[in-house]
Structure 1
């Protein structure tokens, strides 16, 4: 999977890191250098990355600096922390992770569902929050006395750029 190269990710990285710092300060938890490094890798792309993609990227950077290599467990611990605090999301169908693009306010809205639009060609993920879909999920779940704790929907298809490349847009 590739990502379009005409997008400047420095704004995305800065915004995601600032949001993460705000969330951690509010919750009184530490956003360690290692957690920030994992988050920086995820924020540098809109294509979901596996834990091993993140590990390989960080170890490549560490090797260039002469630093010791990270073990997979350290990446999984950082990912677990970032998920727990709503800073990143796991894309279940791809066993991959993506930085939350909705900002710190979105993490606190009750009753909203998260929707991911996943491009089958380039691999990018777009994230949206929907109060109406969240309400529908709560209504359906309520009918069977089910309590949803992570309403997430993944929709596969083609993004606008990939449609244009295929001549469908």
Structure 2
């Protein structure tokens, strides 16, 4: 993410703040920016280390966990279960679209992660699993006697760079 894109996303977050009852504190912004510029998911401890190395102020891991919980509740970050509970920034913050079911491509080699189409971002490629497929999977889960707890979809893939280097 380049500086211009980062500023656009942060401006969108500020607008969200203005409509809500919460503040974008320096620490919340710092944690969110670390996730926005990272190409791979980060754990709370990785975020803590990066934050403490990049700023004059320090932050405790417990504070990072609280911030991540808050950012997740506001749909600004996603927690990825298949990566040992690491986090990524939502790639659709600036599109102003009400997000559907989060869908991710996660490279099994380098861990680069891409959140795929929400269906409303004008500047993205429309690659996503259709809602009807997700609904059918949910129905099958129910028919098997289970209750779907989280419909977030995480697919292990091999990114272009890793596939090329293996060839």
Q: State the TM-score bracket (shorter-chain normalisation).
A: 0.7 to 0.9
The list of structure 1 runs, each at least 4 consecutive aligned residues, that deviate by more than 6 angstroms after superposition, is 144-147
Residue aligned with 1:113, SS: coil
Count of matched residue pairs: 153
Matching of residue 105 in structure 1 with residue 96 in structure 2: yes
Q: 1:139 to 1:80 in 2, by over 3 A?
A: same
- What is the RMSD of the two structures over their aligned residues, measured on CA atoms? 2.4
Indicate whether 1:74 and 2:63 are aligned: yes
Rounded to whole Å, the distance in 1 between the matches of 2:21 and 2:101 is 26
Question: What displacement does 1:61 show?
Answer: 1.8
Q: Which has the higher contact order (CA 8 A, sep 6+)?
A: 1
Shift of 1:41: 0.4
Kept in 2: contact 1:47–1:125 (CA 8 A): yes
- TM-score with structure 1 setting the length: 0.77
Give the distance between the partners of 1:133 and 1:105, measured in 2 at CA: 24
Cα distance in structure 2, aligned partners of 1:158 and 1:9: 24
What is the CA-CA distance between 1:142 and the residue it aligns to? 6.1
Q: Which moved more, 1:158-167 or 1:38-47?
A: 158-167
- In structure 2, the partner of 1:115 is 103
CA distance in structure 1 between the aligned counterparts of 2:16 and 2:41, rounded to whole angstroms: 22
Say if 1:12 and 1:44, in contact at 8 Å, map to a contact too: no
- Partner of 1:49, secondary structure, is coil
Runs of at least 5 residues in structure 1 that lack an aligned partner in the other structure: 1-7
Aligned equivalents of 1:163, 1:10: Cα separation in 2:
29
In structure 2, list runs of 5 or more residues that go unmatched.
Answer: 119-128
Q: Report if aligned partners of 2:142, 2:148 keep a CA contact under 8 Å in 1.
A: no
**TM-score of the two chains, using structure 2 as the length reference:** 0.78
Provide closer, same or farther for how the CA distance between residues 30 and 158 of structure 1 changes in structure 2, counting only shifts above 3 A: same
Return closer, same or farther for 1:153/1:27 CA change in 2, 3 Å cut-off: same
